[in-house]
Amino acid sequence: MQKSWAARTDTGRRRSQNEDSFCADLDLGLFVVADGMGGHVGGEVASELAVTEIQTVIEFTATLGPQDTWPVPFDAKVGTDGNRLRASFTMANRRIARKIEKAEKLRGMATTAVAALVKGSKAALAHVGDSRAYLYRAGQLTRLTSDHSWVEEQVRGGMLTEAAAREHPRRNIVTRALFGASDLDVEVSELELETGDRLLLCSDGLSTVLQDDEIGQVLSAPGDLQVVCDELVNRANAAGGPDNVTTLLVDVATE
């Protein structure tokens, strides 16, 4: 299957600096969005480090055996590409830890991240935090990731409704992130792709502003992917643009 992609990252209306980063590498089949936290300097550094290290590790593990993700143990419950993504997130987390050790001013920096590794008709997904992956297929939008956030846990536990969660003052509190701790828990899943599928990776600057049905409506538009990415960002900004916003869209087509 052939893949094409487009992306847009924007500071938003209320922030002075963009702490989001992204990567799209068709040769590797790798797509990543990271949303940095920890202040003007720290957030930008953390997201850039994460994206760079994830890409480096995915490139390196492509040269290894199918079950070799050293120094991260291989998990037999997940396929090879899922393990490669888990290893790349783990190594990115360790690189952030080393950076913090060398620069006191960066202490407290962190980043969320979501990544897709696409090979043929299969995609492996990994995420930490509240950056999201969506699948648009045959007119239906499906969220592929569950936010690692305080409000999402309350929704799953029946303590908050989806509507209340969107307005809650703690909606920006994440329960997992890449911040250098040794106990990183990366959520990994796998997906069979079909011709005509669209994968969307985004930071929460999009998903906390636009409802899923509006995102699906924009993704339903045929044609130029860049126009679709731009429209998502423009709508987030038109709704107030409270945060940095990044959209990365991947289209799947037959060869």
Integer Cα distance of 4 and 198 in angstroms: 10
Q: What is the mean pLDDT of residues 69-91?
A: 90
Run of H or E including 121? none
Would you kindly state where each structural domain of the chain is located, as residue ranges? 2-237+244-253
* CATH 3.60.40.10 assigned to 2-237+244-253: yes
- Of 189, 51, 24, 191, give the one whose Cα is nearest residue 112: 51
Q: What percent of the chain has pLDDT over 90?
A: 73
- Of 139, 105, 248, 115, give the one whose Cα is nearest residue 188: 115
SS3 content of the chain, % helix, strand, coil (to 5): 35, 30, 35
pLDDT at residue 248 above 70?
yes
Beta-strand relationship, 110-119 and 30-37: antiparallel
The pTM (predicted TM-score) of the whole model is 0.93
Encode pLDDT of 118-152 as tens digits.
999 999 999 999 999 999 999 999 999 999 977 77
- Interaxial angle between packed helices 80-102 and 39-61, expressed in degrees from 0 to 180 and rounded to the nearest 10: 140
pLDDT at residue 182 above 80?
yes
Task: Calculate the CA dihedral of residues 40, 41, 45, 47 and round it to 10 degrees.
Answer: -10
pLDDT at residue 238 above 90?
yes
